[in-house]
A and B are shown apart, each in its own frame.
Chain A
């Protein structure tokens, strides 16, 4: 049971009746778009981006789009973070 002081603080701190907004889940098209981006990236076929990308594509093919998209995004991030040999990091 919360004490009255805490309830008062919660009431003061809480926001009043926030609106609801729907967040779209990743779709097969998102998976394809992410895989395409990874394939076009110069470090897209370098570990660990390669493994993460393959993993993501496999999950997408198994219709686990959210998990697959997450793997593909991690692969893209890994590819971006690894410097391309001979290229200056932007």
Chain B
């Protein structure tokens, strides 16, 4: 069983801000936005500054490889000559070389000394101190030669470094702008969420205050919030309908039971105050009082039975049955009643109508429908009860020649204690068709009403219901 979790109240606006769903959505949005911006910046960096660095490193590596191969082939002198040749055509002064022998003496190149080796890495990023110019940045590859000598090959990367710094600054500004955009976007998103939810929460507050009439205003966007609002409105309509039903049932019970109880009380009081002390009159008054109280009891039993059926409590008692036999029993019972009212009961159904259901409740349904038909049809009228097996369902139709039922009344006829205006003068509690509807729905069927085909001033009423048939014909019913 679900238990309502107690709602914790936390003081302070900061906690309320962090506990707000709008804030969390907005924070998620900002985080995703920033991640996307960082990913974009990373890719941009890799494709520009990173590419320049990789290009420089590749050129240095190729140059160093060529000089090392030359050292293996022709020795240090050849490498020194190659370095001088390379420096001789480097008008821009971008290349850096140094060749040292095993003792550390400089053999060739334009560097005064080698940097200290930084760990195991052969690559060094160095600051270049020009004797007659401003300092710059350089990238060096240090190679240990087999004879103990050392070779350094490198490039000036000052201009590339400037470009990298410019790019870094641009990316940093872009990240700052992205951060500002993320914060503004998150704030806008939070405000939009709050504004869209304000209508629903305002309506909920009004409903909680006891007024069931407000509804969530819907926008023309037909978005998720409108669908939520529409669902809330449907729920509120249903709750209001149920509340009206409960109120109507309470009023009807008070109204319908007040008369028989008052009548019984008055009859018993008159008998008590009767001066003649006639035992027969006293007995008659008591019997009438008992009859009135029996009617009251019947109304309560009917209400309780409808509730029982609506809750599906009797579904466990479902068993295979033949509706044709129930129709025959009901027709036999009410055929005599119709004959007594000068009416004719016509019947038509096949030999067998297999169903899975509650025999007593279905017989009660047929009895209620035939009782209504006899009650509302004039003498000389014809009442027809028919049933057919149609595909996977059984269709039953009970038609009379009474005053019929207006279309608006047909929608309300399943409500407890509802009685159409034309039936006000006819005895009844307004519970018969409520029970019929509840039983049909419990059996998975549908109930509806139609004109029986009579003249406009007396069209008659046809009550139809369809129940799902059993897979196989029921065995012979006891």
Q: Which residues of A contact B (CB under 8 A)?
A: 2-3, 5-10, 13, 15, 18-25, 33-34, 37, 66, 70, 72-74, 76-77, 80
Contacts and interface: CB of A to CB of B under 8 A. Distances in A.
B175 interface: yes
B91 A18 contact: no
Interface of B: 49, 84, 87-91, 93, 96, 110-116, 118, 124-133, 135, 137-138, 140, 164-165, 168-169, 171-173, 175-176, 179
Contact of A70 (B84, B93, B112, B128): B93
B175 A6 contact: yes
Nearest to A25: B131
Given A18-B125, A23-B110, A10 B89 contact: no
B90 A22 contact: no
Given A33-B84, A73-B88, A74-B91, A23 B131 contact: yes
Q: A2, A18, A20, A25: which has the most chain B beta carbons within 10 Å?
A: A18
Contacts of A9: 168, 171-172, 175
B315 to A, nearest CB: 67
B126 to A, nearest CB: 5
A61 B148 CA distance: 39
Contacts of B96: 23
B179 A25 contact: no
Contacts of A19: 115-116, 118, 124, 126-127
Contact of B172 (A5, A22, A37): A5
A25 B111 contact: no
B137 A21 contact: no
Contacts, number: 100
Nearest to B106: A24
Nearest to B173: A6
A10 B168 contact: yes
Contact of B173 (A3, A13, A18, A37): A3
A5 B170 CA distance: 11
A78 to B, nearest CB: 9
Contacts of B176: 3, 5-6
Contacts of B131: 22-25
Contacts of B126: 18-21
B91 A73 contact: yes
Given A22-B112, A23-B96, 6 more contacts: A5-B175, A9-B175, A10-B169, A21-B127, A22-B128, A74-B91
Given A7-B172, A9-B172, A19-B115, A76 B129 contact: no
Contacts of B114: 21
Contacts of A18: 124-127, 137
Nearest to B41: A9
Nearest to A16: B125
B159 to A, nearest CB: 16
A24 B110 contact: yes
Q: B91, B128, B131, B164: which has the most chain A beta carbons within 10 Å?
A: B91
A6 B169 contact: yes
